[in-house]
Amino acid sequence: MGNNRIANSPALAKIRKFGGVMSGMVMPNLGAFVGWGLMAAIFIPNGWFPNEKLGEMVGPILNYLFPLLIGYTAGYNIHGQRGGVIAAFATMGVIVGSNITMISGAMVMGPLSSWLLKKFDQKVQHKIKPGFEMFVNNFSLGIIGLLCAIFAYMTVGPVIRLLIVIITSGVNWCTTHNLLPLLSVFMAPAQVLFLNNVVNHGILAPIGFAQVPELGKSIMFLVDTNNGPLLGTLMAIALFGRGRAKKTAPMAMFIAGIAGIGEVYFPFVLANPLLVFATMGGLAVSLFLQVIMDGGLIGVASPGSLIAIAMMTPKSAIVANLVSISAGFVVSCTLGWLLLKISPGSEDDNEENPVIVGGRQVKSVSDFVPGMTVAGNAGKSIQRILVACDSGMGSSAMGASVLRKRLKEEGLESITVINDSANRVGKEYDIVITLSGLLERAKLSCENTDTTFMTVNNFIKLSDYDETVAFIKHRNQVDNNEATV
């Protein structure tokens, strides 16, 4: 229970929300990152099939397209099309004002410029005389965008360039002195607390992209996405764990390893926090081997699956990556076995997830008296459900698919099920389903006090939606009864 309180603390939820915002800038563009990574892995001078002409696209895509895509996406998330346009314009300031890849700069100027335009629009939208809307909209965007681009060119670009140089120098120093494994000390806990996107997209990936043109690869791409240690911990649970965790760990291994959805691993460690040391130890060993064997990836492995890692591995790092990931798996599995002997966890692991209805937490749907109108969603049946994960693209998409199947079996296929990030709950959903570690973040982004929140341990397990189905049937039955009275 203490672990749940820590994982769901409002302060931590705000940090996670910040991480989710950063992730929301990058995740929609990952297809382009994958395409660039394949292009680089194949056509650069030390690639699989070097081609000087085709290789000329690698640099411009990295230095221009990626920052613009991230800047535009960040702006669009904040203020729609207008936000995206001004964000792309402002991002050009940091691109031109620096001689390194400005992904970090785009993450600053994209949100900042679109937020400023949004505030301006809110101030003047009711004061514009009819017929002048287009004039005001175009000139306001142009003037604010111009000022933001100049500001970015003069200040943000140079500052971020200096910060990246300092951080990169620190990472290079750690690499030279074989201290890079120390990253595992904060990376492993950051993962299970859903803070991995803050570290990965905000710090590691920009450093990695800065290193690739010079080194041809970067270990930074294999700090968070290295799922060898993660899979090793799950294997220990599958072999030596107990109860529900033991039964569901094999499926979680498949999803994390092949589909690259790392979120399925997080609840296992939150339920038994000692296991974070198993992953930490495996990651430390894996990073150590990558340093001494010169491993790394050519780009972001997305999703973080073994298949994606293999596709992003250059010829020069095949052996290093294979050995380091395998060693991380073995070490974390061994440590997990030892830790499970010390703290095996609950025998049945059947603690029920909380249900929050109308702001009031109850133990489960079974607490509701049949025929009683449930607080929250009063007077309306369940029509729209949101399944929310960290980024809104991976595990929640699978969960939404599973829930749709379950609802169809129950004759409730008319209900709309959407998947999205816990940062974007808004006000249109009757029920929000998420992991316990994301509950506070989802509540922070919710704009409807009548929304019901439910948590699951595993997005892909049909039985984890029993409470949801029971609640829907009860709520809709109550509404039907009220309608016939």
Q: Compute how many other C-beta atoms are within 10 angstroms of the C-beta atom of residue 307.
A: 13
For residue 11, what are the contacts with CB-CB under 8 A and spacing of at least 6?
none
Q: How far is CA 424 from the centre of its chain?
A: 13
- How buried is residue 115: exposed, middle or buried, by Cβ count under 10 Å (0-12/13-18/19+)? middle
**Distance in angstroms (rounded) separating the CA atoms of residues 97 and 100:** 9
- Which residues is 384 bridged to in the sheet? 416
Q: Quickly tell me which residue has 């700090």 as its tokens.
A: 223
Active-site residue 389, yes or no?
yes
Of 148, 174, 333, 389, the catalytic one is 389
Largest CA distance in the chain: 77
Beta strand pairing call for 431-435 and 384-389? parallel
Q: Which amino acids are annotated catalytic?
A: 389
